[in-house]
Structure 1
Amino acid sequence: MIETREQLIHTLTEAAEIEHNLLCSYLYAVFSMKRAGEAGLTEAQGEAVERWRKTILKIALEEMAHLACVNNLLIAIGGAPHFDRPNFPVAPGYHPADVVVRLTPFDERTLDHFIFLERPEESDIEDADGFEASGEEREVAARGVTPSAEDYATVGMLYDSIAQGFTSLAERLGEAALIEPAGRGQLYSALVKLPNIPRVTGLESALATIRQIKEEGEGSSGGGAVDSHFERFQAIRTEWREIREADPDFRPAWPAAHDPVMRKPIEGRPRIWITAPDAAHHVDLANAIYGTMLSVLAQTFSIADADEQRLLMRASVELMEASASISVALARLPASPDHPGVNAGMTFAVPRNSSYRPLEARARALFLERALELEARAKAVLGGEVAEKALRRLGNAIGLLDGSRAPE
């Protein structure tokens, strides 16, 4: 039960991390997927995998929009936008026991896990092998005024508790006291070019935003709407099984690592440490660009100038595309001599300081400085088509940040 503003901010912050984690998990699967014409796929199989890739990429984009919506909800009640998250794989107990978040390539178990994560509340679907619940319960000895995370079985139930919190607090504090009615500091669809990101200006718009997030994930009222994430993942699984029945050797993805890391793992924890030099350079650069993108995105949510917000948002998109192009290549590179037959993968390492830069007049110059460093590193370690794609996107970001390119 959410009874205070601080508890609501705490719970929304967890929702932001859930959305961010799901987004990264879905993108990792997309990066590992083969493209039409690559080895091991017939023409018909290539067409099917390309449809699935586009479907999951669209779901990932909707998760980006959900993350933006949650940040609007946070800002509306006086919280700060939140783009931080734990590094992968998320430690047991950080989220509720049933919310297992890992980086795994696109295979049947990963797909079944995605279906489980997006399942309606009344569903009796079990999670896939390899994603077993930790059994760790989050509880406190005595409930007081310190915000604490409550357990929930599904992501939909998390949003139900958030909706309850908005409703009860608006009644107790007053709607205008709880929610800043002008919607200042928030982003919206016309500004960020992502669908369904409204401003939150009152209880009605807050509840509508929460309902939209929930329905896009699991379906209308938990019933599994045709275009929900849950239903789209299930449709992929149905088609996959039909293809596999005709071809038992069907493999739609490269053997990207399960739980890759870019630093030596702690002894006893099963991780794939990326040590092959080419892959190690790629994952270092992909993570560095991703971290810079998070910093630019956090700044976008923290300033009031709409023109500057639009420019920074466009720059963050270019940085994201640069990182993605390297991440696709990573899934096709050997990870380590210690793990023959296993390819590398993006790890989405989060920098320790990726939040708002309070010296706003200097922020763009700081981002430009970093983008130029990243461009120089890309020229040094990348080659071929991946270099062309990444450098084009980095060049676009640099042009936006130095003022030589206007946002579209």
Structure 2
Amino acid sequence: MRTRNERFISHLLARQHVASPSVLAATRTKTAENPPPEFTWREYAGFLLSVAAQIEHSLMVQYLYAAWSLGGMQVPAEQRNSVAAWRQTILGIAKEEMGHLATVLNLLRFLDAPIELDREDYPWDSGLAPYPFALERLTRATLAKYILAESPEQWPADVTSAERAEIEKLAAGSGTKHINRVGILYAELIDLFKDAARLPNSAFHPETYPTQSSWDEYARGYGKGARGSSVAGTKKTPDVLVMRASSRAEAVAALAAVAEQGEAPDEAAMKDDEVSHFRRFLKVFREFPEAGAWEATIAVPSNPAAPGMPSGAEQTLIQDDQAGLWANIFNIRYRMLLSFLAHSHAPIGPDGLVQRQGIIVNRMFGEMYNLRAIASVLTRLPLKPNGADRAGAPFQMPYTLQLPDDDASFWRLHLDLLKACRALLLNPKIASGDAAEYAATLLSLDETAVEEMSLYASASKVRTGVLRPTGAIA
């Protein structure tokens, strides 16, 4: 089944066989002289950026789930530092994918196009993503998929033909029907943004610059080049790239930087294990144990699903009562993260003032930490009552991604989500369960957030340092 958008991008990808008839890689076709039917060049650029945003979102989520699966008491004592280093490496890549997402959203704002927060949900294969979306614990096969997706067009000389064949064979054995290199999409975008004949200056909106996310907002105290880890075996890692654009040159530079951090096409950069996603995944792959040697991951399920809604054939329903409630809480907090991200990109209001406060970005980062903490709770709880297998973070998409059209409505959405989460946190199975102390802490933090947000939700206008309340919110 094809998605409604696939017909607009399939012309970009000329599929070629890799190591197995069941695995297809994509190479880029020649740039078209005219936009696809039904598009202008500006709309087409916005469409490609929307696809890029969906891909970055999907990769971020899948990398987080894989990283969170690493560890556990079954890891041999002598291997625990290595496993911790792999976890830190992949979490770092996931953070960088969020920076890529923020950068792509900035470029959508630069085109005055709607931001895109959607992504694939499992079980699903849109044909646009690098490979079918799936939440899976880390294995050599999943690492093989990640390597191929982030690979450059020309692989480095130190990857032998035998090693590349092994990577492609493992990806095929995981059931992957195709591999789309992410770099193909960015190459097309870079060519398009460079071309003033196709995208004239009138297509750009530098006045949106104040509403674009900045590196300073995402840096969280890190100096440039100083994001690293104290985990043994890890080094300093590249910055989280969050780039804004007020000109064509800045937009092209942002796209090039995102592409390079993924695949590192430069041969010199390829020799540095800490530069590109491709290189870092390859390093973990080379160190990761063969099947049957020893187990580096917790027994989390593939494609976990929270209870209360029908699950698909390829999903794994979380059946333990306590784990199921935490899975529902995780989904709410995930939706909160997306709503804060959307709010941080809210357009400039009719009075010409930016309707965004530091509280939004602070809350967004708070939800990142909450998701990590809840994922840790889930991996300690059983998938089924009294079972040995563990639960996992479901990352299920909300029922809608339609966004409010004014600032006060955004705040009311945040408050509704906090209210829904409170009802679950007060459930006796949570309040007296294995993570009762964390649940109580989360409730207390949420009460503070409600008090703070209610001021904004009840304001007719939000100005710097000025609130004009219009009455209490029921």
Is the TM-score greater than 0.5?
yes
Q: Does the alignment pair 1:95 with 2:128?
A: yes
Match for residue 153 of structure 1?
A: 180
Q: Which of 7, 14, 19 is the matching residue for 2:56?
A: 19
* Structure number with bigger Rg: 2
Match for residue 147 of structure 1?
A: none
Match for residue 148 of structure 1?
A: none
Contact 1:299 1:355 in 2 (8 A): no
Q: Does the alignment pair 1:218 with 2:251?
A: no
Q: Which of 175, 178, 192 is the matching residue for 1:165?
A: 192
Match for residue 101 of structure 2?
A: 67
Deviation at 1:390, TM superposition (A): 5.4
- Give the TM-score of the pair, scaled to structure 2: 0.72
Change beyond 3 A, Cα 1:63–1:250: same
Residue segments in structure 1 that go unaligned for 5+ positions in a row: 136-151
Match for residue 132 of structure 1?
A: 175
| Deviation by residue 1:273-308 (Cα, 9 ceiling, x = unmatched) | 222222211211111111122112111111446683
Letter in 2 for 1:40: Q
The CA RMSD over aligned residues, in Å, is 2.8
Change beyond 3 A, Cα 1:130–1:333: farther
Q: Secondary structure at the match of 1:128?
A: helix
Q: Secondary structure at the match of 2:270?
A: coil
Change beyond 3 A, Cα 1:77–1:397: farther
For 1:238 and 1:274, locate their aligned partners in 2 and report how far apart those are by CA, in whole Å. Answer: 33
Letter in 2 for 1:272: T
Q: Secondary structure at the match of 2:408?
A: helix
Deviation at 1:103, TM superposition (A): 0.6
Deviation at 1:318, TM superposition (A): 1.1
Q: Which of 235, 253, 278 is the matching residue for 1:208?
A: 253
| Deviation by residue 1:310-361 (Cα, 9 ceiling, x = unmatched) | 2111112212321221112222333236x96533222211113334321312
**Runs ≥4 in structure 1, deviation > 6 angstroms?**
none
Contact 2:211 2:344 in 1 (8 A): no
Q: Which of 99, 115, 120 is the matching residue for 2:147?
A: 115
Change beyond 3 A, Cα 1:237–1:278: same
Match for residue 226 of structure 2?
A: none
| Deviation by residue 1:6-42 (Cα, 9 ceiling, x = unmatched) | 11111110110100000000111122121xxx42223
For 2:77 and 2:176, locate their aligned partners in 1 and report how far apart those are by CA, in whole Å. Answer: 38
Q: Does the alignment pair 1:106 with 2:106?
A: no
Letter in 1 for 2:66: A
For 2:415 and 2:249, locate their aligned partners in 1 and report how far apart those are by CA, in whole Å. Answer: 40
Letter in 1 for 2:329: L
Deviation at 1:184, TM superposition (A): 3.7
Residue segments in structure 2 that go unaligned for 5+ positions in a row: 1-30, 36-40, 156-163, 221-239, 455-474
Q: Does the alignment pair 1:76 with 2:110?
A: yes
Deviation at 1:387, TM superposition (A): 4.3
Q: After superposition, where does 1:226-375 map in structure 2 within 5 Å?
A: 226=272, 227-241=275-289, 249-262=293-306, 263-266=309-312, 269-304=313-348, 308-336=356-384, 341-375=388-422
| Deviation by residue 1:182-233 (Cα, 9 ceiling, x = unmatched) | 4242111112336321211111111111111111111144863621111111
Q: Secondary structure at the match of 1:403?
A: helix
Change beyond 3 A, Cα 1:319–1:72: same
Count residues in correspondence: 375
Q: Which of 176, 182, 193 is the matching residue for 2:219?
A: 193
Q: Larger % of strand: which?
A: 2
Change beyond 3 A, Cα 1:386–1:112: farther
